[in-house]
A = this chain, B = another copy of it.
């Protein structure tokens, strides 16, 4: 086939390949999330990538419609690729909750697709990693949502972070008091921009869009000034919602969450009550969460969620209140990469066994021996010069080579070579080799079996 007849290999705009380094990091992050979710009793489910279009657009406005990848399938069905994991979970729950019972705690991890603009490093295919507890209004589910997020950040070793928690009812209580309840969505949208556009611009928006007076806007913004320890914030909130049943209930609920996370040993700075956290999505009705990295605040929240009144009202009459959150896989990976916190994460690097001296059978037996001891082993397939083989290992980032030539084979030893600094040592085969390999592999924080 001549060059001109080749098909140009390329990915679609907004789509990308994951090369091994990026993929190892992604697997590590997702594995860790799964472990934490499981440790709180969340069970995995999966739903199809393709659904009936009416299932997916049921609630979505014009905005998500535009993002939808939709088409007519071979059977004439109007179908679409899922744009999140929440809508399919709602459909799933309506179908299966009778069999599964409540409360039901699930996690789901998988790609979603949105045909939106690809500016600012956004992709049209990305991974979501969600957990939700449905069928209960208990504050235990709120507390555990906070605990899952803090555990996850600890386990991912992201450095300093803060989970910021609010309760929509606190804001609603204040709006009740100010008689601004009807403008709730507009107020939330404005308040949500506080960190980005500042107090003056938010005041402006509250007045022009939400129809607040200057005094009302000022009062709404006092919420954003409330800060301090969890106990202090709770104290300060009491007068701001006094007289509003909703607001008082909201503060009481926040106090229960604070009690729960404190009982579980979560440090003050790791979970803050932050009443400026509103989360724009209007379906949240109770607790809301956002999570910020101390060293990368600009990337925004890496794990967000909240409580909703009813998950699946489009598909079933059974009311399913719940709470959940979503880990921003790609955003967090990008941040950790930038912070140099992905180094040495993920699966252990293989030990390199070059083909050198001895017979192929000898090398295969050596590789099998090391694998049995728990190491990953990469045996070079081609019979090339040792230097070329070691160059390959270096490019692959393999830290250690085990070299067995004719002499070593006769003596029952092998040469251990640290490919990072070139140092070598002769070691007897068997336990001595395994011990020495473990010691060498663990240098520089490498993962060791």
Contact = CB atoms under 8 A, between A and B. Distances in A.
Given A1-B313, A58-B7, A381-B133, A69 B50 contact: yes
Given A17-B92, A50-B12, A364-B263, A27 B44 contact: yes
Interface in A35-65: 38-41, 43-52, 54-55, 58
Nearest to A264: B368
Contact of A138 (B8, B24, B381): B381
Chain A interface size band reads 35 or more
A77 to B, nearest CB: 7
A39 B125 contact: no
Contacts of A75: 13
A421 interface: no
Contact of A140 (B15, B347, B360): B360
Contacts of A143: 364
A122 interface: no
Contact of A259 (B15, B69, B96, B360): B360
Contacts of A381: 103, 133, 136, 138, 140-141, 144
A314 interface: yes
B92 A41 contact: no
A6 interface: yes
Contacts of A316: 6, 9
A144 B38 contact: no
Nearest 8 CB-CB pairings of A with B: A41-B378, A71-B71, A20-B43, A263-B361, A138-B381, A140-B381, A15-B48, A9-B94
Interface in A234-257: 256
A218 interface: no
A355 interface: yes
B55 A7 contact: yes
Interface string A259-290: 11011110000000000000000000000000
B365 A264 contact: yes
A382 interface: yes
Contact of A12 (B9, B39, B70, B77): B77
10 contacts: A9-B316, A12-B51, A13-B77, A17-B46, A18-B47, A23-B43, A26-B46, A38-B376, A140-B379, A263-B368
Interface string A110-137: 0101010000000001000000010010
Given A27-B44, A368-B265, A50 B15 contact: yes
B315 A48 contact: no
Interface string A73-87: 111010101000000
A9 B315 contact: yes
A376 B39 contact: yes
A445 interface: no
B23 A45 contact: yes
A350 interface: yes
Given A17-B47, A263-B365, A382-B136, A317 B6 contact: yes
B17 A45 contact: yes
A431 B23 CA distance: 39
B315 A6 contact: yes
A307 interface: no
Contacts of A365: 263-265
B41 A376 contact: yes
A371 interface: yes
Interface string A86-97: 000001101110
A377 interface: yes
Nearest to A317: B3
A168 interface: no
Given A23-B43, A381-B103, A51 B360 contact: no
A11 interface: yes
A16 interface: yes
A184 to B, nearest CB: 21
A89 to B, nearest CB: 10
Nearest to A58: B7
A314 B23 contact: no
Interface in A306-337: 312-317
A340 B302 CA distance: 41
